[in-house]
Chain A
Amino acid sequence: MSIDALLRSIEALPLSAAVRGELPGSEWLFPIIETLHVMALTVVVGSIAMMDLRLLGIASRNSPVSRLSNEVLPWTWSAWCVAAVFGTLMFMSKAHTYAANLQFQLKFACMGLAALNMLVFHLGAFRRVEHWDLDDPPRSAKLAGAISLLLWISVVFFGRWVGFTVTT
């Protein structure tokens, strides 16, 4: 099955039709799903920014990095899962349109790079966090914080732009 046929078969699902508001009583489903996506993404982006600003030495400087990470990241991941569930539902409603949308592609490229950046940080500077937990973070950690902040700001911009370029 080609990717295009797969995307169109996703769109043909009754759930996808419901998200498009085509089933009786489902007229308000898309706005509700989008609102829940926004609620979750604000927690994702806001909590990641807390971590990034700490790594940059701008905020929460009196908190050890490891403790901040333990406090904040479980909420980041939980909220990310919520955002992903509702994001998937929106994607299903117009799968082939979103897949072909440049802003949508750039958004996911930025999230992929953010994941890579996080992996490099966790396998690198964060493994020696006990040596700099309360100090000014090392240069590689600052770089990871700056890259993460820029990428997540880009994710929000591209995400908002998807709404202006995908028309009903």
Chain B
Amino acid sequence: MFRPFADWLATTAVSRTLADQPWVVPTSQSIHILAVSAVFASAFMINLRLLGVGATGRSISQLSHTLLPWMWRGLVVLLCTGIIQTLVEPVRQFVTPAFWAKMVLIALVATMTALYARAVRRNAPLWDAASSRPPRAKIFAIVSTLMWLAIIVCGRFIAYTWSMYA
């Protein structure tokens, strides 16, 4: 059902114009990886802090306040560069389950992160004291880290699996 759409997208002027420039995809992918670095390293530090194994010099609210804006900025850059890569090679993206798994995981982990950000913003003292921190903090830390890692796996495996479905 997405294949006809992908085939049509590949014939559009914007897709053809971008595809004619050989530097577009490598440049976009490089910026994409830099944005993954900002998002994943930030998520990783926050999650280490929630688990009590890293960045313990700062409170959870302080660390989240510093790093969450970089995660949102990074996600915007990921969306923009991802759209460019999809415009250039729509078939490659839409045919492989790795792409769809990645999209679902991103939607889920972004929602979880937004809920986490809201909870910490609303009641920083509750989250900063280890005694009162909700038990779901550690679950969020472990699950969201695994989800980000799975997103990286899916992203890289789009390149290695799409030809099996095209």
Partner of A42, one of B30, B152, B160: B152
CB distance from A122 to the nearest CB of B (A): 20
Cβ B153 vs Cβ A35 within 8 A: yes
Pick from A42, A60, A68: contact of B33, CB below 8 A.
A42
Q: Is B42 an interface residue (CB 8 A)?
A: yes
CA distance A50 to B43 in the complex (A): 12
A110 CB to closest chain B CB (Å) equals 13
The tally of residues in B whose CB lies under 8 Å from a CB in A reads: 32
Complex interface: stretch among B5-13, B50-58, B115-123: B50-58
**Interchain CB contact (< 8 A) of A45 among B29, B34, B153:** B34
Chain B residue numbers with a CB within 8 Å of A112 are none
> Which of A93-101, A127-135, A156-164 lies on the face that meets chain B?
A156-164
Q: How large is the interface on A (under 10, 10 to 19, 20 to 34, 35 or more residues)?
A: 20 to 34
Partner of A72, one of B39, B45, B160: B45
Contact B153 A71 (CB under 8 A): no
Residues on A with C-beta less than 8 A from B42 are 46
Please determine whether B45 and A49 come into contact, CB atoms closer than 8 angstroms. no
On A, residues with C-beta under 8 Å from B are: 28, 31, 34-35, 38-39, 41-47, 49-50, 59-60, 62-63, 67-68, 70-72, 75, 153, 156-157, 160-161, 164
